[in-house]
Chain A
Amino acid sequence: MSRRVAILGAGPSGCFVAQALLKARPDLRVDILDRLPVPYGLVRYGVAADHQGTKAITRQFARLFERQGARFFGNVTVGRDVTLEALREAYDAVVVATGLSTDRRLGIPGDDLPGVHGAGRITRALYEHPDAEPLPPLGPRPLIVGNGNVAIDLLRLLAKTSEELDGSDLGPGPTAWLAGSGIDEITILGRSPAAAARFDAVMLKELGRLSGVSIAVDDLGTAGTEEGARTLEALSALHGHGAGPRRIRFVFARRPIAVEGDGCVSGLLCIAPDGREERFPATSILTAIGFDGETATAESGAAVRMAPGLYGAGWFARGPRGTIPDNRADAQALAAVILADLDATPASSSIPGDVLACLPGTVTYDGWTRIDAAETAAPPAGRCRAKITGRAAMLSLAAAPDEKETQP
Chain B
Amino acid sequence: MKIAVLYGTETGNAEMLAEDLAGELEGDHDVSCANLSGFDPAGFDAGTFYILVSSTYGDGDLPASAQPFAKAVEAKAPDLSGIHFAVFGLGDSEYHETFNGGGEKLAALMAARGAVQVGERVTHDASGPDMAEDLAFPWARQVIEMAAGLVGEDA
Seen from chain A, the residues whose Cβ lies within 8 Å of a Cβ on chain B are 16, 19, 50-54, 56-57, 59-60, 63, 167, 200-202, 205-206, 209, 230, 324-325, 328-329
Contacts and interface: CB of A to CB of B under 8 A. Distances in A.
A167 B127 contact: yes
Contact of A201 (B11, B12, B59): B59
Given A53-B93, A53-B94, A325-B64, A202 B13 contact: no
- For the complex, would chain A's binding face be called helix, strand, loop or mixed by DSSP majority? helix
A205 B127 CA distance: 17
B37 to A, nearest CB: 11
B16 A206 contact: no
A147 to B, nearest CB: 17
Given A201-B59, A202-B58, A325-B64, A60 B95 contact: no
A21 B13 CA distance: 17
Given A51-B94, A167-B127, A206-B94, A57 B12 contact: yes
Contacts of A63: 16
Nearest to A204: B59
B59 A230 contact: yes
Interface in B1-20: 10-13, 16
A57 B57 CA distance: 14
Interface range on chain B (Cβ under 8 Å from partner): 20 to 34
B127 A52 contact: yes
Contact of B16 (A16, A54, A60, A324): A60
B125 interface: yes
Given A53-B125, A56-B126, A200-B59, A325 B10 contact: yes
A330 B92 CA distance: 24
Contacts of B48: none
Contact of B127 (A53, A57, A59, A324): A53
B67 interface: no
A329 B9 CA distance: 11
Contacts of B13: 56-57, 59-60
Nearest to B15: A60
27 contacts: A16-B12, A50-B94, A51-B94, A52-B126, A53-B93, A53-B94, A54-B92, A54-B126, A57-B11, A57-B12, A59-B13, A59-B16, A60-B13, A167-B127, A200-B58, A201-B58, A202-B58, A202-B60, A202-B95, A205-B95, A206-B94, A206-B95, A325-B10, A325-B64, A328-B10, A328-B11, A329-B64
B96 interface: yes
A209 B11 contact: no
B96 A209 contact: yes
A235 B92 CA distance: 21
B97 interface: yes
Contact of B11 (A167, A206, A325): A325
A146 B32 CA distance: 46
Nearest to A201: B59
Contacts of B97: 205
A53 B125 CA distance: 8
Contacts of B12: 16, 19, 57, 60, 328
A78 to B, nearest CB: 27
Contacts of B126: 52-54, 56
Nearest to A329: B64
Contacts of A54: 92, 126
A205 B94 CA distance: 10
Interface string B29-58: 000000000000000000000000000011
Nearest to B96: A209
**CB-CB nearest 4 A-B residue pairs:** A53-B126, A53-B92, A53-B127, A325-B10
Given A50-B94, A54-B92, A56-B126, A325 B16 contact: no
Contacts of A59: 13, 16
Contacts of B59: 200-202, 205, 230
Contacts of B125: 53
Contacts of A52: 94, 126-127
Nearest to A209: B96
